Amino acid sequence: MSAGSARVARDPVHHPLFARCYARISVTAETRTGMAEVRRRLLGGLSGRVIEVGAGNGLNFAHYPGTVSEVVAIEPERSLRKLAVEAALRAQVPVDVAPGAAEALPVKSEAFDAAVVSLVLCSVRDVPRALAELRRVLRPGGELRFFEHGRGGGRVMTFTQRALDRTVWPPLAGGCHLSRDPVGALREAGFELGPYRRTLMPESGPRLPSSYCVTGVAWRPPADAADAGR
Ligand SMILES: C[S@@+](CC[C@H](N)C(=O)[O-])C[C@H]1O[C@@H](n2cnc3c(N)ncnc32)[C@H](O)[C@@H]1O
């Protein structure tokens, strides 16, 4: 094969158009829809080594408290990862941004005190595998903080969410799905669920298929066997 025809390895997640849009919309949403406050509350009280999966353009980084010793931020999308690297330079805690996918985290088992996912479980290809990986990399008793959107509303809304998931939404929105059940998926993956709160995003105004959010904490069981989730 000549050098000119050599194939360039494709990223596990490749949504350049979505990435460009998300980089803009997400920054506006920080103030307009109160996302900055959601992020601050999501990350408050964390400490030790943290892994953030699907870090996007790094908007969580500014909200990690000083008790966090290090954040390893995994982001598979090239252009979002570049923005995350820039955000990491501005963060008050050390943040190391790395490529990788939730379904095969490029880190050792039981290496983290806490893990964070925000608006990511809607987009991963394989939710059970991603959650098994999160469980693997957390130490037993380690916590997972989550902020996700999913199934919600009445019958008409859930019908609409499912219809959009089968048609235009995932290709338009970077692989995102509207009708997933993050809390149910966490339970099925063997996490112990702590308190969680269902909210609307945005809090006021029209309810969109992506408005039904849940924020909370779940734990890898303290007595979890070393090889759990594999
Ligand atoms: C809606 S954005 C959220 C970004 C960021 N977590 C935030 O709170 O703003 C979804 C993110 O999930 C990432 N993602 C999609 N599939 C993924 C996968 N399989 N593993 C890890 N991240 C993934 C996308 O690249 C994107 O950064």
pLDDT category at 75 given cuts 50, 70, 90 is: very high
CB 76 within 8 A of CB 101: yes
Site to substitute for ligand 1 among 53, 120, 148, most atoms within 8 A of C-beta:
120
What's this model's pTM, rounded to 2 decimal places? Answer: 0.94
What is the reported pLDDT for 1?
Answer: 37
Q: How far apart are CA 29 and CA 25, in angstroms?
A: 6
Look over the chain and give the mean of its residue pLDDT values, rounded to a whole number.
93
What is the reported pLDDT for 188?
Answer: 98
Give, in order, the Cα–Cα distances in Å from 104 to each of 19, 27, 96, 135.
21, 28, 18, 12
Residue of the CA atom closest to atom 19 of ligand 1: 124
CB 61 within 8 A of CB 73: yes
- Cβ–ligand 1 distance for 215 under 6 Å, the answer no
On the question of pLDDT at 2 being above 50, the answer is no
pLDDT digits (tens, 9 = 90+) for 119-152: 999 999 999 999 999 999 999 999 999 999 999 9
Site to substitute for ligand 1 among 43, 71, 119, 123, most atoms within 8 A of C-beta:
123
On the question of pLDDT at 229 being above 60, the answer is no
- Cβ–ligand 1 distance for 55 under 6 Å, the answer yes
On the question of pLDDT at 165 being above 50, the answer is yes
Calculate mean pLDDT across residues 42-64. 98
Identify each DSSP E strand in 39-184 by its residue range: 48-53, 68-74, 95-98, 112-118, 138-149
Of 198, 194, 195, which Cα lies nearest the Cα of 214?
198
The full set of domains in the chain, from first to last, is 3-219 (3.40.50.150)
pLDDT category at 39 given cuts 50, 70, 90 is: very high
Calculate mean pLDDT across residues 164-175. 96
Calculate mean pLDDT across residues 171-196. 97
- Cβ–ligand 1 distance for 53 under 6 Å, the answer yes
pLDDT digits (tens, 9 = 90+) for 192-228: 999 999 999 988 889 999 999 999 999 999 998 755 5
Calculate mean pLDDT across residues 62-80. 97
pLDDT category at 32 given cuts 50, 70, 90 is: confident
User: Does residue 175 sit in helix, strand or coil?
Assistant: coil
Residue of the CA atom closest to atom 17 of ligand 1: 124
Calculate mean pLDDT across residues 99-110. 98
Q: Which atom of ligand 1 is nearest to the CA of 15?
A: 25
